[in-house]
Every structure is written in C-alpha cells, then in structure tokens.
Amino acid sequence: MSALFEPITLRSLTVPNRLWMAPMCQYSAAPEGPAEGAPGDWHFQHLAARATGGTGLILAEATAVSPEGRITPYDLGLWNDTQTEAFRRITDFLKTQGTVPGIQLAHAGRKASTERTWVDRGAPILPGQRHGWEPVAPSPVPFDDGFATPAELSVAQIRERVAQFGAAARRALAAGFQVAEIHGAHGYLINEFLSPFTNRRTDEYGGSYENRTRFALEVVDAVRAVWPDELPVFFRISATDWLTEDESDAREGWTADDTVRFARELREHGVDLLDTSTGGNVPDAKITTGPGYQVPFAERVRKESGLAVGAVGLITEARQAEKIIADGQADAVLLGRELLRSPSFAQHAARELGAEITLPQQYHRAAV
C-alpha cells in the first residue's frame, strides 16, 4: 500500500490521497469591468485538468480579499457576488472528480500592484499609472528598489483587513470550497506583520513576538468563525526569512523557532494544517535550494508542534513524494511546477508506486 495514496481525514473531511496541488497564480482574471477578479475559462481548465489527473486536493491560487490585496490587477478575488458565482462552476466540477476544492485567501500587502511575472519580470505598477494603486503594509518599508513605499495601516484599517478575510471566507464557503487556506507566507501582508524585518511598528501590532503575531491570529479567528466546524482551515507560512540561515547577515527576521512556536498557537486557534514554505519577504536573502529543500522545516513543525503539515519545494518525483509521507516528514505533499508540467502526475505516480487510483470513465483505456 502506498503511503502517498492513503486517504487523510481532517475534521470531517476525507481527502482521497496525500498528493495535492499548491496555489499558483495564473494572472488571468479581468483587471476591470463586471468580471473583474472572477475566474474564467482559463481557471476552469487549469484546475479541472489536475482534478481529472487524480490530484487529491487542489488549492486555487492566491485569491485577494479586496481589490488592493491583489498582487497584480489580473489576480482572482473574492470580494463580490459575481466572483462567488463564477467559482461555483469550478468547485462543482472538482467534486465530481473526487477532488477536494480549496482556496487560498490572500492580501499582497507591500508586494501589491505589480505586472504579471511574464511582463517586465513582474515590475511594480506605481500609483497613478494605469491599473496601479498604493500598496499598504504594517510599516512604510518598500519591498525592493523601484517599488512604491506602502502606506502604514492604522489600527482601524488593520481591523478592516481582518474583517475582509472573514467576509472572503464566507464567500468561499458559498462558492463551494471545502478548505480555506490563509496565506501567511512569501512576504505578503500577514508575513509582513509576523517578521521583524518588515514590521517596525511600536503599537499593539508590532515589536514583541506576541504583538507581531496578533494580526495573523485575528485573521485566523475571523475565518474560523465563519468556516464550519466540520471543515478544515489551513495556514500557509514562510517558516524562515532565511536571514538566520546566513551567519554573515545580522538582520533580524522570522525564524524556524518562531514557526514552531506559532504552529502550536495556530492549532489552538483552530488551524488544522500548516502549509510550510519559506522565503519571499527579503528580496536579497540567500536561499539554498535543492530537491525537497523545504521539507525539513515541515518535518520539524510536525514533530515539535503536533500540527499536521504539508511539505513543498522541488518535489518532482513519485518516489520522493512517497518517502516524505512514509517517513513521517509530512502529512501531505503539495506540488507546484511539476503539476504545471504534468497535470496527470497523480496518475503516473500511482502507476509507478503500484497504487490504485480512480480515473475518469472517459480515460478508462489508460488503466489497461
């Protein structure tokens, strides 16, 4: 029996296998007009193809809780009824394939208002330029050279953003999603509050560890308050800013120790799984990459906090993914680029590992 293809139950939701799709922005929504931020045909085929390919759980890309929370003008959103209705077509289809539909709720913070990654390498769109707007953040610290200095959020504005996450979660449920993931990674708004590298505040939302984690926990509570008890909530985290991994860099950032401590608190607040990534908050951080390079961070969280974890990071082979699960390093693996290259990766992996997987009836010839 393949460990990778064993079902897993989180609360009352059973996912058919441990091979999941990580959120990956497509930058393909309308930037304005009646369908602004709503998924269309591209999003349907993109997610549907991975479902027919056997992926157990699919997390739709980072979906903004407000227009200003988009990374680019072409991001998906969940701040109005048109967007909610457009998602239903996708979630309905994913469920017919036995795939669990999930969504990542996000706010880009100081990394907002940029071009798509294939246009000028994702260059910033400055306020006043077409489709540009002023980004917001815990502190007025621009992400990198050429980026706009973000407006520092007031306490009242912070609480508005908390409410926006709750409202987006309510819409996600109405749209048919069964998992809500809160995006607290990769240098976006929640990550910016967590890390002392980007959070320079001196009020109740800055300074101490307890203050820097306050916004994230308030968001979790707002989402959990509207999300059914029987359905799971995930949290995606950057387990390290990679500053403490470089002994020559004296800058202070978020650390793996912080992540383990925070995971215990997330569990107490009703989070069911930590989707464990790294980096994205410090543009010049020195990151050592390689196959499965982020898995050890997930493994440590799992062992020291008791919270279920998902592992990510250059997981590209079936036996590699199988070993991660079989060795107890993670409860699930989330594939990104490999699922872009091979939408039916789960089918190929099941065949290689000798596991059974249900194929669409239309593809029955592939089982012979």
What's the average model confidence in pLDDT over 52-57? 97
Instruction: Answer whether residue 367 is part of any domain.
Output: no
Q: Is residue 171 part of a domain?
A: yes
CB 215 within 8 A of CB 221: no
To the nearest whole number, what is the mean pLDDT of the chain? 96
Please report which confidence band the pLDDT of residue 148 belongs to, taking 50, 70 and 90 as the band edges: very high
> What values do phi and psi take at 10, rounded to 5?
-120, 115
> Per-residue pLDDT tens for 150-170?
999 999 999 999 999 999 999
Q: Which of 127-141, 242-256, 293-307, 345-359 has the lowest mean pLDDT?
A: 242-256
Query: How far is Cα 291 from Cα 312, in angstroms, rounded to an integer?
Result: 10
**Partners of residue 101 on adjacent β-strands:** 58
**Three-class SS state of 235:** strand
| Whether 74 is catalytic | no
363 in any annotated domain: no
The owner of tokens 């520092």 is 152
**Number of structural domains found in the chain:** 1
The DSSP code for 358 is P
Is residue 365, in this structure, part of any structural domain at all? no
Backbone φ and ψ of 89, nearest 5° = -60, -40
Report the distance separating Cα 90 and Cα 103, nearest Å: 11
Spell out where 94-212 has E strands: 100-106, 136-137, 151-152, 179-184
- The answer to whether residue 362 sits within a structural domain is no
CATH number of the domain to which 275 belongs? 3.20.20.70
Among 74, 188, 209, 293, the active-site one is 188
pLDDT for residue 363: 84
Range of the domain at 70: 3-356
Whether 361 is in a domain gets the answer: no
d(CA 225, CA 212): 21
Residue type at position 62 = A
d(CA 341, CA 255): 32
pLDDT digits over 186-233, tens only? 999 999 999 999 999 999 999 999 999 999 999 999 999 999 999 999
Mean of the pLDDT values across residues 302-329? 98
Residue with tokens 């239309």: 362
- Coil, strand or helix: which one is 114? strand
- What is the model's pLDDT at position 249? 74
Assess if residue 364 is contained within a domain.
no
Largest CA distance in the chain: 64
- The helix (H) or strand (E) run that includes residue 161 is helix 155-174
Query: Would 27 be classed as within a structural domain?
Result: yes
